[in-house]
């Protein structure tokens, strides 16, 4: 028992065995891929008409109702191998490599590369965001409350909105270069192409805007009295001495 299909060759319907159908389909697809665009329709129509005629003769001669794989092979021997129709446009090296390595191995490598790319695309921005959040948190709390006054900046406090602007700006300022770099690597490894000019313009604009946001929010939340480096150094010295004393006392 064999599975069959129904095909239409230039208006003539044939019942064809499944294996014969696959062979015929691959044969026609291979020929079509070799033909120049402006000749494809004409040549394929002529070829299909001829194949239909040959199938009809074979079915009549063999008193068969379904086209068999032998009939397809006979037709192929008569109409010619695909290379008679034109050069193979697919790169030879790739095909030979696939044959040598086995399609299973190639698929496994492709899947691995895709997984790595996805992991990189997810991992890098997540790490960048976590890093930026940590930086923003410590920058605002510790830096803001301890170091900034020592450097001559006066903390004014700020609205929740400006605090948000500051956080988002810090995140974008740190994350955008990482994102640009990762996108560049991924695009080049995948398509052997550099990102478009549009991509660079948009990402650079966002990056520049993030610095604008940073400056604006800092301007609202911090008052600059002029950095007093001498006071700052004295404060650090004092803090260091106090810490040293504490350690010495604990040691005693």
- Note the residues at the interface with other proteins (CB under 8 A): 9-12, 31, 35, 38-39, 42-43, 46-50, 52-53, 56, 77-82, 84-86
Nearest CB to other proteins, comparing residues 9 and 182:
9
Q: What are phi and psi of 13, to 5 degrees?
A: -95, 135
- Least distance (Å) from other proteins to the CB of residue 89? 14
Q: Shortest distance, CB of residue 95 to other proteins, whole angstroms?
A: 20
76: which DSSP letter?
H
Is residue 225 within 8 A of residue 154, CB to CB? The reply is yes
CB of 87 or CB of 191, closer to other proteins: 87
CB nearer to other proteins: give 11 or 104: 11
Strand 66-67 versus strand 12-17 pairing type: parallel
Round to whole Å and give the CA distance between 79 and 25.
15
User: What are 31's two structure tokens?
Assistant: 């020929």
| Residue 87 Cβ vs other proteins, minimum distance, rounded to whole Å | 11
Nearer to other proteins, 39 or 237 (CB): 39
DSSP string, 133-181: HHHHHHIIIIIIIIIHHHTTEEE----HHHHHHHHHHHHHHHHHHHHHH
Nearer to other proteins, 15 or 235 (CB): 15
CB of 76 to other proteins, least distance (A): 9
Q: How far apart are CA 88 and CA 82, in angstroms?
A: 9
- What minimum distance in Å lies between the beta carbon of 41 and other proteins? 9
């Amino acid at each position: 028992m064999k599975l069959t299909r129904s095909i239409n060759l230039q208006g003539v319907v044939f019942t064809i065995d499944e294996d014969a159908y696959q062979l015929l389909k691959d044969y026609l697809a291979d020929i079509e891929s070799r033909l120049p665009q402006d000749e494809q329709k004409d040549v394929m129509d002529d070829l299909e008409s001829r194949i239909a005629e040959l199938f009809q003769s074979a079915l009549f001669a063999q008193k068969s109702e379904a086209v068999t794989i032998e009939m397809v092979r006979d037709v192929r021997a008569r109409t010619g191998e695909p290379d008679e129709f034109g050069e193979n446009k697919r790169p030879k090296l790739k095909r030979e490599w696939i044959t040598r390595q086995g399609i299973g191995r190639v698929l496994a490598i492709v899947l691995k590369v895709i997984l790595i790319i996805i992991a990189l695309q997810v991992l890098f921005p997540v790490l960048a965001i976590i890093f930026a959040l940590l930086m923003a948190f410590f920058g605002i709390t510790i830096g803001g409350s301890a170091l900034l006054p020592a450097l001559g900046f006066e903390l004014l406090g700020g609205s929740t909105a400006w605090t948000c602007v500051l956080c988002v700006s810090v995140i974008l300022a740190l994350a955008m270069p990482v994102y640009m770099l990762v996108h560049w690597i991924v695009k080049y490894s995948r398509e052997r192409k550099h990102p478009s000019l549009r991509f660079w313009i948009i990402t650079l604009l966002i990056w520049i805007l993030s610095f604008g946001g940073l400056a604006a929010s800092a301007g609202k939340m911090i008052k600059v009295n002029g950095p007093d480096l001498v006071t700052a150094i004295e404060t650090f010295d004092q803090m260091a001495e106090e810490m040293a004393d504490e350690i010495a006392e604990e040691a005693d």
